[in-house]
Amino acid sequence: MATKVDDVEEMKMTTELRDNGHSYDATTIKVLEGLEAVRRRPAMYIGDIGKRGLHHMVYEVVDNSVDEAMGGYASSIIVEIDKDGSIIVTDDGRGIPVEEHPEEGISALEVVMTKLHAGGKFDHESYKVSGGLHGVGVSVVNALSEWCWVEVSRDGVVYRQEYERGHPRTQVTKNGKRMKVGTKTCFMPDKEIFTSLEFKFDIIASRLRELAFLNKGLSIDLIDHRTGQKVNFLARGGLTEFVKYLNESKTPIFKKPIHFSKSQDNVEVEVAIQYNDGYSESVYSYVNNIHTIEGGTHLTGFRTALTRSINNYASKYNLVKVNGIGLVGEDSREGLTAVISTRVREPQFEGQTKTKLGNGEVRGIVEHITNDYLGAYFEENPPVAKKIIEKLVAAATARDAARKAKELTRRKTALDSAALPGKLADCSLRDPELSELYIVEGDSAGGSAKQGRNRRYQAILPLRGKILNVEKARIDKVLSNKEIRSLITALGCGIGNDFNAEKVRYHKIIIMTDADVDGAHIRTLILTFFFRYMKPLVELGYIFIAQPPLYRLRHGKSEQYAFSDEEKEKLLKKMSQTGVSIQRYKGLGEMNPEQLWRTTMDPETRTLLQVSMEDAASADRLFSILMGSETAPRSKFIQENAQYVRNLDI
Ligand code: 0RA
Task: Let me know if residue 428 belongs to a domain.
Answer: yes
Q: What is the mean pLDDT of residues 19-23?
A: 32
| 113 and 214 together in one domain | yes
Residue 94: pLDDT band with limits 50, 70, 90: very high
How does DSSP assign 74-115, residue by residue?
--EEEEEE-TTS-EEEEE-SS----SBPTTTSSBHHHHHHHS
**Closest atom of ligand 1 relative to the 91 alpha carbon:** 12
Task: Please list the residues that pair with 186 across neighbouring strands.
Answer: 88, 149
Candidate of 64, 126, 128, 181 to mutate for ligand 1, largest count of ligand atoms within 8 Å of Cβ: 64
| 55 and 156 together in one domain | yes
Decide whether any atom of ligand 1 lies within 6 Å of the 65 Cβ.
yes
Helix (H, G, I), strand (E, B) or coil at 285: strand
Domain boundary among 199, 217, 233: 233
| 470 and 376 together in one domain | no
Instruction: From the candidates 162, 518, 567, 630, give the one annotated as an active-site residue.
Output: 518
Task: Let me know if residue 204 belongs to a domain.
Answer: yes
Q: What is the pLDDT of residue 128?
A: 53
Angstrom distance (rounded) from CA 79 to CA 59: 10
Domain boundary among 356, 377, 406: 406
Decide whether any atom of ligand 1 lies within 6 Å of the 123 Cβ.
yes
Q: What is the pLDDT of residue 467?
A: 86
Decide whether any atom of ligand 1 lies within 6 Å of the 97 Cβ.
yes
| 138 and 187 together in one domain | yes
| 496 and 543 together in one domain | yes
For residue 619, pLDDT beyond 70: yes
For residue 488, pLDDT beyond 80: yes
Q: What is the pLDDT of residue 497?
A: 74
Return the CATH number at 293. 3.30.230.10
441 flagged as catalytic = yes
Candidate of 60, 61, 67 to mutate for ligand 1, largest count of ligand atoms within 8 Å of Cβ: 67
Q: What is the pLDDT of residue 161?
A: 98
pLDDT tens-digit map of 446-463? 999 999 999 999 999 999
Which of 81-95, 382-396, 448-462, 609-623 bottoms out in mean pLDDT, i.e. has the lowest? 609-623
Q: What is the pLDDT of residue 409?
A: 63
Q: What is the pLDDT of residue 178?
A: 81
Identify which has the larger pLDDT, 473 or 225: 225
| 374 and 452 together in one domain | no
For residue 134, pLDDT beyond 60: no
Identify which has the larger pLDDT, 109 or 12: 109
| Dihedral, 198, 200, 201, 204 alpha carbons, nearest 10 | -110
| 69 and 163 together in one domain | yes
Identify which has the larger pLDDT, 519 or 5: 519
> 250: which DSSP letter?
S
Residue of the CA atom closest to atom 7 of ligand 1: 96
Q: What is the pLDDT of residue 12?
A: 27
Structural domain range at position 15:
2-30
Identify which has the larger pLDDT, 478 or 456: 456
Q: Report the amino acid identity of residue 80.
A: E
Q: What is the pLDDT of residue 13?
A: 26
For residue 118, pLDDT beyond 60: no
pLDDT tens-digit map of 430-444? 999 999 999 999 888
Mean pLDDT comparison of 48-62, 120-134, 467-481, 564-578, highest-scoring range: 48-62
Task: Let me know if residue 591 belongs to a domain.
Answer: no
Residue 360: pLDDT band with limits 50, 70, 90: very high
Q: What is the mean pLDDT of residues 373-399?
A: 93
Q: What is the pLDDT of residue 412?
A: 54
pLDDT tens-digit map of 251-296? 999 999 999 999 999 999 999 999 999 988 999 999 999 999 899 9
Instruction: From the candidates 514, 539, 615, 620, give the one annotated as an active-site residue.
Output: 514
| Cα maximum dimension of the chain | 83
94 CA from centroid of ligand 1 (Å): 5
Residue 86: pLDDT band with limits 50, 70, 90: very high
Task: Let me know if residue 568 belongs to a domain.
Answer: no
Residue 30: pLDDT band with limits 50, 70, 90: very low
Q: Are strands 267-275 and 173-177 parallel, antiparallel or unpaired?
A: unpaired
> 599: which DSSP letter?
I
Angstrom distance (rounded) from CA 242 to CA 450: 46
Return the CATH number at 614. 3.40.50.670
| 20 and 79 together in one domain | no
164 CA from centroid of ligand 1 (Å): 23
For residue 648, pLDDT beyond 80: no
| 243 and 303 together in one domain | yes
Task: Let me know if residue 577 belongs to a domain.
Answer: no
Angstrom distance (rounded) from CA 567 to CA 571: 6
Residue of the CA atom closest to atom 10 of ligand 1: 64
Decide whether any atom of ligand 1 lies within 6 Å of the 436 Cβ.
no
Angstrom distance (rounded) from CA 144 to CA 159: 22
> 435: which DSSP letter?
-
Mean pLDDT taken over the chain: 86
| 166 and 259 together in one domain | no
Residue from 432, 425, 269, 244 nearest 338 by CA: 244
| 418 and 389 together in one domain | no
Contact 243, 337 (CB under 8 A): yes
Task: Let me know if residue 373 belongs to a domain.
Answer: yes
Domain boundary among 182, 212, 233: 233
Q: What is the pLDDT of residue 238?
A: 97
Residues whose CB falls within 8 Å of the CB of residue 604, separated by 6 or more in sequence, listed in order: none
Residue of the CA atom closest to atom 9 of ligand 1: 96
293 CA from centroid of ligand 1 (Å): 30
Q: What is the pLDDT of residue 146?
A: 98
For residue 377, pLDDT beyond 50: yes
Angstrom distance (rounded) from CA 396 to CA 409: 20
Q: What is the mean pLDDT of residues 473-478?
A: 85
Identify which has the larger pLDDT, 30 or 241: 241
Residue 556: pLDDT band with limits 50, 70, 90: confident
Task: Let me know if residue 338 belongs to a domain.
Answer: yes
**Closest atom of ligand 1 relative to the 61 alpha carbon:** 11
140 CA from centroid of ligand 1 (Å): 18
Helix (H, G, I), strand (E, B) or coil at 488: helix
Q: Using a pLDDT cut of 90, give the percent of the chain over it.
A: 62
For residue 17, pLDDT beyond 50: no
How many domains does the structure of the chain reveal? 4
| 416 and 481 together in one domain | yes
Q: What is the pLDDT of residue 322?
A: 53
For residue 399, pLDDT beyond 80: no
pLDDT tens-digit map of 576-616? 877 899 999 888 988 999 999 999 999 999 988 888 777 77
Q: Using a pLDDT cut of 70, give the percent of the chain over it.
A: 86
Return the CATH number at 158. 3.30.565.10
Residue 21: pLDDT band with limits 50, 70, 90: very low
Task: Let me know if residue 199 belongs to a domain.
Answer: yes
346 CA from centroid of ligand 1 (Å): 20
Q: What is the mean pLDDT of residues 347-351?
A: 92
